[in-house]
Amino acid sequence: MVTIEFLGPIQKAPLTLEAASLRDVAEALKNDGEMSQWLESCAVAVNDTLVATLDTPLKNGDKVSLLPPVCGG
């Protein structure tokens, strides 16, 4: 099981699911209408390290963080 956390304005409670890669996480979240708007624009971190590919493998206990874009000033 991996834990998915949603940061910033996403305002969604963390969830856990079985996933062997980030691709599995993306597929699961595509079915959530609320999340579909965020999937294209979010940066993704696995265990607090930014990653750039859906082929990133996951193991039991990993934490996946979705980081939406933010504006600063």
Q: What is the CATH number of the domain that holds 13?
A: 3.10.20.30
**Total number of domains in the chain:** 1
Range of the domain at 51: 2-67
Measured distance CA(65)–CA(73) in Å, rounded: 24
33 confidence band (pLDDT: 50, 70, 90): confident
Is residue 17 domain-resident? yes
Is residue 72 domain-resident? no
Phi, then psi, of 16 in degrees rounded to 5: -120, 145
Is the torsion defined by CA of 24, 47, 59, 51 positive or negative?
positive
User: 24 or 37: which carries more pLDDT confidence?
Assistant: 24
pTM of the entire predicted model: 0.88
pLDDT above 90 for 31: no
Is the torsion defined by CA of 51, 49, 19, 56 positive or negative?
positive
Is residue 49 domain-resident? yes
pLDDT above 80 for 11: yes
Is residue 23 domain-resident? yes
